[in-house]
Structure 1
Amino acid sequence: MATAQWNGVVLAESDDTVIVEGNHYFPIDSVRREYLVESDTTTFCPWKGEASYYSVVVDGARNEDAAWYYPEPKDAARQIKDHVAFWHGVTVTD
């Protein structure tokens, strides 16, 4: 089972992640959204499309843009629709 943790809190846990480019994409229903705050940040990947970001907030500590997702991924990445990935110090183990 893959787990994403930051600041001592489990942010997501699933045995059904999708691994793309070495990153675990967690199904949205396995993510504890109470720790996520929408960000205005976006980036673009030529084959996945436009990514949107969340900042992670735990006990008042904020990790800017530590999670991302593709609201409307391109066809080549359709398997990560409704999934969230983590970075910026979030520990992901499987």
Structure 2
Amino acid sequence: MRALVGTTLLAEADQDELVRIEGNGYFPPSSLVEALFTPSATAYHCPWKGDAQYWDVGQGDDVLADGAWSYPHPIESSFDRVGQDYSGYVAFDRRVTIEQ
């Protein structure tokens, strides 16, 4: 699976490496092109996952504000619901192209 903004590759991982949560595929931290992620000031709290970190993603003229999010320190009880530890895994909003 590949996550792209235009032709810029943000992340790449095998489909079985992604964690599915509420219809979103979360890419493992090791699959990210970290230089293309800038922390955003946007705040969000999920009652069962915890505090999200939003990211502006891309480069040059192809930067999407709040185009991705992760849970750096999820609520531990959520691991049972998800089926594994997903700390730092990143999901992308619909403006990011996800392809196989």
Residue 86 of structure 2: aligned partner: 80
Structure 2 residue runs without a partner (length 5+): none
* Root-mean-square deviation (Å): 1.4
The percentage of counterpart residues that share the same residue type is 37
CA distance in 1, matches of 2:44, 2:20: 19
Cα-to-partner distance string for 1:1-23 (whole Å, 9 max, x where unaligned) = x2111121111011111011111
Asked if the contact 1:7–1:58 (Cα under 8 Å) also holds between the matched residues in 2, the reply is no
Asked if the contact 1:36–1:55 (Cα under 8 Å) also holds between the matched residues in 2, the reply is yes
CA distance in 2, matches of 1:93, 1:18: 16
Q: Shift of residue 38 of structure 1?
A: 1.0
Mapping of 1:23-42 within 5 angstroms?
A: 23-42=24-43
**Count of aligned pairs between the two proteins:** 93
Asked if the contact 2:52–2:72 (Cα under 8 Å) also holds between the matched residues in 1, the reply is yes
TM-score scaled to structure 1, two decimals?
0.88
Greater fraction of residues in strand: 1
Q: Shift of residue 88 of structure 1?
A: 4.3
